[in-house]
Amino acid sequence: MVIKVLGSGCPKCKKLEENVRKALDESGLTAEVEKVTDMNKIMEHGVMMTPGLVVDDKVVSTGKVLAPKKIIPLLNK
């Protein structure tokens, strides 16, 4: 599984990345976590509001900092 956190590096983007890592720890899942800061690559996903969360090339959230308990169900799909 590949998880991408899309954002410019703002505090919300950093918090989402932290929460993704916590969700992986809590769920026992393993994944490659990538931080994408290039605006062109972010826009390639169709994300206009950051932070964005992409799981296996599917956008699952935009514009929100999800808590780990909200991220876990998105990883189990």
Q: Indicate which residue of 1, 2, 10, 43 is catalytic.
A: 10
Give pLDDT tens digits for 50-69.
Answer: 999 999 999 999 999 999 99
Q: pTM of the entire structure?
A: 0.93
pLDDT in tens, 23-60: 999 999 999 999 999 999 999 999 999 999 999 999 99
Contact by Cβ (8 Å): 64, 23: no
pLDDT, residue 9, reads 87
- pLDDT reported for residue 57: 94
Our answer to whether residue 55 is catalytic in this structure is no
* Higher pLDDT, residue 9 or 6: 6
Annotation says 69 is catalytic: no
What backbone phi and psi angles, to 5 degrees, belong to 6? Answer: -100, 130
The CATH homologous superfamily to which domain 2-75 belongs is Glutaredoxin (3.40.30.10)
Tokens of 37: 């800061």
Q: Which of 13, 20, 47, 71 is catalytic?
A: 13
Distance CA 26, CA 44 (A): 30
